[in-house]
Structure 1
Amino acid sequence: MSPSKPPEETPQQQDMSKKKTSPNTVIPELEMDAVPESKDSPLHTEEDLSAAPPSSQEVTASEQIAIIDADDIALASLPETHPPSQTPPSPRPKIRHFLQNIFEVSALYDLEEWPNVSHELYLKAREELRIRVDTVYNFMKHKGFNWEKRSSFRIFGETLLQLLWIDWSDPEAKHTATHEVLSQLSKRPQAILDYDQLYCTPDSAERRRDLVLTHHALADKKVLFIGDDDLGSVVLAPHFPGEIHMLDLDQRLLQFVQEEAPNVHRHEINLILSGIPAPLHKYFDAVFLDPHWEYSGAWMFLNKAIYALSEHPDARIYLSFCPVHLEYQPGQMTRFWKRLASLGMMCEQVIPAFNLYSLDEADIPEFRALIDEYLPQLESSFANALREIPFAFSNMYVLKRIPGHRPHKIRSFFFNWWHSA
């Protein structure tokens, strides 16, 4: 899954961004040392409060949500690809190295024993880093950086805080993939950013597999992967007694799945132009999707997942989505939950930071150019260290049908007609 481009700026934001800024803008030390009041920071403005993402220690959502801790495009001509780099069994060393660099440039010298520090020290470090993110954001806003660049920096800043929580909350390296999964994914094709591909780490794929095996591991169960660039079907196939289907347009992935997991049912479908085949309507007990990280992109595929989901009470949709791409846009999360409810669905559970995605240049070379475009270099050691962030993240949203829900007849008719047209 690929992170979406930041949201387009509103007319008011365009007015603030008319002043041009050179890519190498100096942030005076005096300005960098100036600490903004947290209540006035760009991450806590009045317009953002209703949409701000939950912190690592306090996750809020609708009353229906239970929170737990836990860790495609036409193929006219395929670009030349190369094998991805050797994937480490755990993302933890990269996270730890990145955080140590951040601590050094931020002069956080009392974290020498990280991550084995007290809760008080963790909260202090988190607040210090948030203040630095806010300070750079305010500077970019003052200097006329456009909305896209400011939003990109803010997303990177929130990802930093999420990685900080991951490493502190469980300092033992539980994010370790097994040799089996590493072997299964070692020869997969390289991700193509133009296809909206950004592979999750092997340990993330393993956690997705374990969700199925925990809740749906019966011979009569059926699982669907809508867009399977993370190859969840391949990881699941050796252990699952039921029926596995995957939908994708990338012929490289379809061929790879055929070779590595021939028992998986493969469907070459462009879901942007086509719907779910009628025989698969309300067929699956579990549907996995990791769509484009913005509102319309998410619903383009989530509608199809709902169409494919069985009406059995235990049927679930497992949606991987980065929350900051909705929660930083005022009203978007509320709009998202209301639309979900109107289709007879509810969120049963949110698992924070369930998935990690490698941003290593060896895994996805095009991403570095994207960073250069949306996150320009500043003469700030903290801002430039943040550009080297090793992973993106997403939550896992577990969705189910609302018991006893009766959809509006006209809405239901057009929903089914649209997906069968």
Structure 2
Amino acid sequence: MNYIEQASKHIRLQEGIQAIEQLLLECYLKPGISTKELARKTLLPTPVAAAIKRELIKAGALLQDRGVRCTKGGLTWVERNWGYRGLDHSLYHELFDETKWMESIKDVLIILEELLALRPSADVQIDQSKCTPETSLRRAILCLKQHALIGKKILCVGDDDMVSVSIGLLLQRLFPDGGHTVTHVDVLDTDPRFLSYIEKIANERKLPIVCHRLDLREPLPENLHKQYDCFFTDPPYTLQGMSLFVSRGIQALKREKGLPIFLSFAHKSPPLMLAMQREFVCMGLTVSANFPQFNTYEGAEMIANRSQMFILRTTDQSKPEYPEKFTDALYTGEVKRTLRTYRCKQCSKDVYVGMNGEFVTIEQLKNEGCTGCGYDRFEMVDKRQVTADRYDKSNLPMNSTADARNDV
């Protein structure tokens, strides 16, 4: 019997079934919880939380007894289907306390420090940069706090930060007796060095990780579509890189509302942040939370060794910006060295972007809109390498109107 499906048949929620799952989980983790506290924990209006509670009581998962708690059947269902049997409840609650979590899993951090010290060197040509062991572990804790870790299928879209390993080690600490087999982590990456190292660690430490080598410019294989409950990504810090990596993740997610996306991205200027938010809207995503300076990196002076963490959530309008093969410039160095022709999807006017182009960056073009009609969606139709260090009209297509103020 699936209590979640049974309850969702009788109550329509804009938040999706994630809200029902979280409410049931809160009752499991804190027996005797009040309806008002359930509403606070799930960020739902009290009448909505009460309605979900009533449906779960009807379904036989909950009972009202000095607060709300799971029935015996509800307890068994949560432990069997979501894998909570054997959970160290005391540690679980400590990890939600910002003042205690680091001390509680200091032993895990020590292991991570040893493992990450031996990871391959960063390849700056593909915008790799190494986050610190503490940052990698903080991402796993954030996933736990969002109820997106235990019992879930998790995807890492690129994983030179080895978040997959942090998740695996955290699970072992949360389930000290072993036997937890419900959570799975998959890794997509183009770098065979990191994939081999992650696989080696997973095999030696029996972590639930599977690696897939994939150039994310290529379409996502069909067998990875609609499989996952959340994903992590720390993409190249270009607008195209962010949109591509998030697009691949969206394709991999289950078709449900409210699924979390953990996106790490450099702190950028207001125009680029505006362009990013345009991309979020275009892909049907909402910004659930933003944590400035959440991530710390080793030797990444170009981004001041820090980046922010977005938690995005899916809606019933979520779709990838780039569902097919990607042909645009992707990495920072590549973007800076090219002149690209974008065609307006509304009036078909060609606009030139990049070195000596009409617009320096695609985010500038999207913010200002097509020079012909003002529309803000484009497709790239041509790309060429530009080697000139200074403004040179010989690099421009014949009908370009760029001027020297657009120099890179």
Indicate the TM-score class for this superposition, using the shorter chain for normalisation.
Answer: 0.3 to 0.5
**TM-score using structure 1 length:** 0.45
Q: Which has the higher contact order (CA 8 A, sep 6+)?
A: 1
**TM-score using structure 2 length:** 0.47
Whichever structure has more strand as a proportion of its residues is: 2
